[in-house]
Amino acid sequence: MFDVDSLVSDCQTALADPDPQRTVREILLRTLRKPGPVADALAGNEGGINVVFNSPALTVLNVIWAPKMKLLPHDHRMWAVIGIYGGAEDNTLYRRGAERIEPAGGRLLHDSDVLALGTDAIHSVANPERRFTGAIHVYGGDFVNQPRSQWDPDTLLEQPFDFEQIRKAFAAANEEWARQAGQDLDEATF
């Protein structure tokens, strides 16, 4: 049985470890061995970023990607651990170049996969499937209030992170899915 409060408590305890990111990764690997109960507790019928827990030292998000949604390149400026409980998350990784970022690989995550990102990581995310994707994102800091950057997806030039633009991207992806699918969002499940 999955309990979100226990997950948050375990992640908070992990902060005292010498390598909290590694410990949080182990927690998510254990939690997502059986992703069904996690999906039962966290899955929704609409894409969005849901703050489960936020403090200066730790943030836990439940991120739901609408079908075929793409999010522009961005950084976190803190370590992150991402675990998938339903669907797929296609991460494109970037490195800083002289004037703009440059693609530097990627990783496609599926149910039960976990990805750790360092404090300097830059990535973009896409849901390649025609179903919702659900993921637990754990950050080693205050993800909600941390100043950070995003990059124009066409020019790959850096600009200040705009959380309102991200919210609008989720809303637009939900509307696009509903329009293309010709159905209510609650019919497109994990």
Regarding pTM above 0.85, the answer is: yes
Q: Decide if pLDDT at 159 tops 60.
A: yes
Percent of the chain scoring above 90 in pLDDT: 89
Tokens of 75: 């950084």
Q: What's the pLDDT score for residue 52?
A: 97
pLDDT tens by residue, 129-150:
999 999 999 999 999 999 999 9
Is pLDDT at 90 greater than 70 in this prediction? yes
What domains, with CATH codes, occur in the chain?
4-182 (2.60.120.10)
Task: Read off the pLDDT of residues 175-186 as tens digits, 9 standing for 90 and up.
Answer: 999 888 775 555
pLDDT tens across 17-70, in order? 999 999 999 999 999 999 999 999 999 889 999 999 999 999 999 999 999 999
